[in-house]
Amino acid sequence: MKDLSILLDDRPGALADMGEALSRAGVSIEGGGAWTTAGGGVAHFLFADGAAARRALEDAGIRVVAENDVLVQRLRQDTPGQLGQLTRRMAEAGVNIEVLYSDHDHQMILVVDDMARGKAVSEAWIRDSGL
């Protein structure tokens, strides 16, 4: 799985253009979101095939600014405090979370600044929580 960081125009139809470009290429979105900020659109979407998604977007003139590896994590939905506990562990390990969203399978997707340390924290979380 890959997260793509995508710049979109802040105008009606920009997100539709993105979705249509992916559709024409037969690429599905696995999770993510989009926001407007400072006059532009910023999107982070998850793809099973990041390279195919990137090609489809760039061929349509849509700017992809980064392709990121991700950590995929599951939280216990019936236990309050899971997000705080996991992200505290990341912070204590010196890992900065750059992007966080959910995929279509109710898993948390994280883009972090230090994948090796983030992966170690994520694996310990899975082991400790019995997930």
CATH number at residue 8: 3.30.2130.10
77 & 119 share domain: yes
CATH number at residue 81: 3.30.70
Please name the amino acid found at residue 23: S
Range of 27's domain? Answer: 2-69
Q: Among 19, 53, 69, where does a domain finish?
A: 69
pLDDT at 130: 74
pLDDT at 37: 85
pLDDT at 125: 92
User: What averages of pLDDT result for each successive group of 10 residues across the chain (131 residues)?
Assistant: 96 96 97 90 96 98 97 90 95 97 95 97 90 68
83 & 119 share domain: yes
Inter-residue long-range contacts of 27-32, CB under 8 Å, 24+ positions, other chains counted: 27/52, 27/53, 27/56, 30/1, 30/103, 30/104, 31/101, 31/102, 31/103, 31/104, 31/105, 31/107, 31/109, 32/3, 32/101, 32/103, 32/109
Q: How far is CA 34 from CA 17, 38, 101, in A?
A: 13, 13, 10
End-to-end CA distance of the chain: 20
How many domains are there within the chain?
2
Q: What is the pTM of this model?
A: 0.91
109 & 125 share domain: yes
Q: Among 49, 69, 89, where does a domain finish?
A: 69
